[in-house]
Amino acid sequence: MRVVVAVDGRRGEDLARRLREEDADVRAVVPASAPATAAFDAMSAPEAAELLAELARADILIVDGRPSALTTELVAACDRMSVRIVPLSARTSDRRLAASLGLVPHEPDAPAAELLAAPSSSVPVEPVRGRVVTVWGAHGAPGRTTIAVELACALSGPTRKVALIDADSHAPSVALATGLADEGPGFAAACRQAERGALTVAELSRISSTLGDVDVLTGLNRPGRWPELSHPRVLSALEACRGWADDTVVDIAAPLERDEEIVSDLFDGPRRNAATHAALEAADVVVAVVAADPVGVSRFVRAWPDLRAAAGTTPVRVVVNKIRAAALGVDARGQVRRTLERYTGVTEVSFVPWDARGTDAAMLAARPIAHVAPRSAVPAAVRRLVAESLAPRTADEPATTRHSLRRLARTA
């Protein structure tokens, strides 16, 4: 059986050696992205034409399953040449990509005999459905974008793919806060593609920007483009993101009003806050951010009924941001906790302290606080929030977590 291996470095050589031990005829070992580059533009270089000719004489292409190496152009070219693709996918997002292209993913350390064996038609495709985490906050500057960015960084990991989306139709700021360009395709482009039914995992990877381990869909570069973020478009785009990332963190605007329905005669006319309501509707969990000062707490309490009505039965995790004694006096956390419990009924509250030095350094560098000041109290508090309230729980993990134990201790 003739095989071409497209895996980088020593991993590719080790894989070729294991395949030869199974009597496979390894015709070539090339960089992971070489077949995808050759399939995209075979006329760009003579080496690309030679690689495609070698690939046409092979039976199997074993390729790294990351998006840059496994593309729709490569799959189409291999289909024309009757070459079977075997993707090596370590991350959940890579397995999603392979499944979306009609391929059966394999672990990178799978036995060589398994890679060479013909796939069974009865191989079940693992149902994958990512989670949507929507970050909302009342009017003012409670720190919605800061919390959203830090949440995305805290949720990301070697085996988990995280996406960050700026769906703020009033004052989008994720690109400005993270130093990403907002002139190119972003969430608005994803919404347009979703409306046409053309938003795939590969397309999402193409139009997104990279922020460390997080893929970002930037927001509108002009607030006047808000009609592009219609309710059906946003719902479709977020549904597509579930197959793209394990966690999708969505930063939305503060207003929750539906006044357009009163002043507009068009039933399906544009709604300025449609993106906010769609993101709340699609959310698996809502993170509500409160500014830790008298004005911020008051605004949150007044907006709480509207948030609960828009979120429905979706669980809401309340995060009090920028907590400090200078703005609230002695026992700042206790005062905020008692106020929220009295006027909103919220008993579980997470606190993120105020760190002027770390926040200013991140703003100056246009990077997340976790990247610029990893020892800051802000990313530490966000990581604690993720561990206690937002970390995905495995099937064999007991339901009693450290968070619930702390709640029982406090109640006692």
pLDDT in tens, 330-342: 889 999 999 999 9
pLDDT band, residue 143 (cuts 50/70/90): very high
Residue 410, in any domain of the structure: no
Burial, 159: exposed, middle or buried (Cβ in 10 Å; 0-12, 13-18, 19+)? Answer: exposed
Residue 106, in any domain of the structure: yes
Same domain membership, residue 154 and residue 52:
no
Same domain membership, residue 309 and residue 242:
yes
Alpha-carbon distance of 244 to 132, in angstroms, equals 11
The residue out of 66, 85, 116 marking a domain boundary is: 116
Q: Which of 51, 75, 60 is nearest to 25 (CA)?
A: 60
Q: Please state which of the ranges 33-42, 57-66, 111-120, 123-132 shows the lowest mean pLDDT.
A: 123-132
Cα end-to-end span (Å), the chain: 68
Strand partners, 352: 321
The residue out of 67, 86, 116 marking a domain boundary is: 116
Query: Which carries the bigger pLDDT value, residue 205 or residue 267?
Result: 205
**Distances 143 to 59, 125, 291, 310, 311 between C-alpha atoms, Å:** 54, 40, 7, 20, 20
Q: Is the C-alpha dihedral spanning 154, 284, 209, 94 positive or negative?
A: positive
Same domain membership, residue 343 and residue 272:
yes
Percentage of the chain surpassing pLDDT 70?
88
Q: Span 262-284, mean pLDDT?
A: 78
What amino acid is encoded at 211 in this protein?
L
394 has a pLDDT exceeding 80 = no
Q: Span 197-220, mean pLDDT?
A: 90
Total domains, the chain: 2
Same domain membership, residue 137 and residue 105:
no
Alpha-carbon distance of 318 to 282, in angstroms, equals 18
Same domain membership, residue 359 and residue 276:
yes
Same domain membership, residue 162 and residue 240:
yes
Same domain membership, residue 109 and residue 140:
no
Residue 71's contacts (CB-CB under 8 Å, 6 or more residues apart) are: 36, 39, 40, 202
Same domain membership, residue 148 and residue 75:
no
169 has a pLDDT exceeding 50 = yes
Residue 184 belongs to what domain range?
A: 131-391
Q: Please state which of the ranges 31-40, 74-83, 291-300, 386-395 shows the lowest mean pLDDT.
A: 386-395
Same domain membership, residue 106 and residue 152:
no
What amino acid is encoded at 130 in this protein?
G
Residue 51, in any domain of the structure: yes
Helix (H/G/I), strand (E/B), else coil: 167: coil
Percentage of the chain surpassing pLDDT 90?
50
The secondary structure of 242-270 as a DSSP string is: HTT-SEEEEE--S----THHHH---TT--
CATH number of the domain within which 157 lies: 3.40.50.300
The count of residues in the chain is 412
pLDDT of residue 91: 81
Alpha-carbon distance of 128 to 266, in angstroms, equals 38
Strand partners, 165: 217, 250
pLDDT of residue 396: 40
75 has a pLDDT exceeding 70 = yes
Alpha helices, H only, 29-125: 34-40, 46-56, 72-81, 92-100, 112-116
Q: Which of 325, 253, 264 is nearest to 289 (CA)?
A: 253
Same domain membership, residue 197 and residue 89:
no
Residue 402, in any domain of the structure: no
Same domain membership, residue 140 and residue 109:
no
pLDDT tens string 82-122: 889 999 988 877 887 888 787 888 888 888 888 888 765 44
Same domain membership, residue 70 and residue 169:
no
The residue out of 90, 116, 142 marking a domain boundary is: 116
Strand partners, 319: 289, 350
Residue 235, in any domain of the structure: yes
Alpha-carbon distance of 106 to 98, in angstroms, equals 9
CATH number of the domain within which 101 lies: 3.40.50.2300
Residue 234's contacts (CB-CB under 8 Å, 6 or more residues apart) are: 167, 191, 274, 275, 278, 279, 282
